[in-house]
Amino acid sequence: MLRSVITRYLQLCTLAAVGGAALGCSDSLLGPPTSDNVIDTVTLYALSGTAISLPSGYSMLDARPVRTDSTDFDFAFDITESGTTLIYPAGALGLSSVPGLQRSTKPFAEITMAPTEGYEGDSALAVSPNDVFLARSRTSISGCYFFGQVSRYGKFRVLSLDLSARSITLELLVNLNCGYKSLDVGRPDS
């Protein structure tokens, strides 16, 4: 009898603590944000026809261009032999299909919230200057202490393509806060 009373008391205390913590977080229940959203400009180089030392991929978990000789990237850039410029979510290259991209019809500056659905995870997308995309990262537990593995969200716009240098320059914003979907500049609230 005493054991069941103690067990029930501990369960109620745990529920109260979790409920109190959730109320103290934000509307998203993901805890307070720790990073401001900022716009960055990066250049990626084609997977083919460039030196392996040049970054062809982008890691949304680190918000930086990366080499693709590891699996730590969410999307990569390439130019086909016929000159078609493509962005590949990691799944289109045989890696995790969790990272995804979707083309946007809205201008970059007008996108303020990432959708949770509609991301293409296993097919390359053709890109041209001024194209705008929404992006979802592979999952991570980094910074997501109580919520398990979640993705990060972002947006990017193709600023330029240089076929002779085999490069693409992107304007992008990645929300580095655990599971937050806000794509406005500054400290997110959701």
pLDDT at 85: 98
**DSSP tag of 140:** B
Q: Which residues lie below 8 Å from residue 169, measured CB to CB, with a gap of 6+?
A: 41, 42, 43, 158, 159, 160, 161, 162
* Segment 55-106, tens digit of pLDDT: 999 999 989 999 999 889 999 999 999 999 999 999 999 998 899 999 999 9
What does the block give as tokens for 62? 């680190």
C-alpha closest to that of 159 among 137, 123, 127, 186: 127
CA–CA dist 73, 60 (Å, integer): 7
In the block, residue with structure tokens 């993705």:
151
pTM exceeds 0.95 for this model: no
Annotate 112-140 with b (16+ C-beta within 10 A) or e (fewer): ebbeeeebbbbebbebeeebbbbbbbbbe
pLDDT at 128: 98
**DSSP tag of 81:** T
pLDDT at 144: 61
**Residue 42: burial class (beta carbons within 10 Å; 0-12, 13-18, 19+):** middle
* Segment 19-65, tens digit of pLDDT: 434 333 344 466 788 899 999 999 999 999 999 999 999 999 989 99
* Segment 118-175, tens digit of pLDDT: 999 999 999 999 999 999 999 876 656 555 678 899 999 999 999 999 999 999 999 9
Cβ 101 vs Cβ 63: under 8 Å: no
CA–CA dist 178, 41 (Å, integer): 22
Residue 78: strand pairing partners: 86
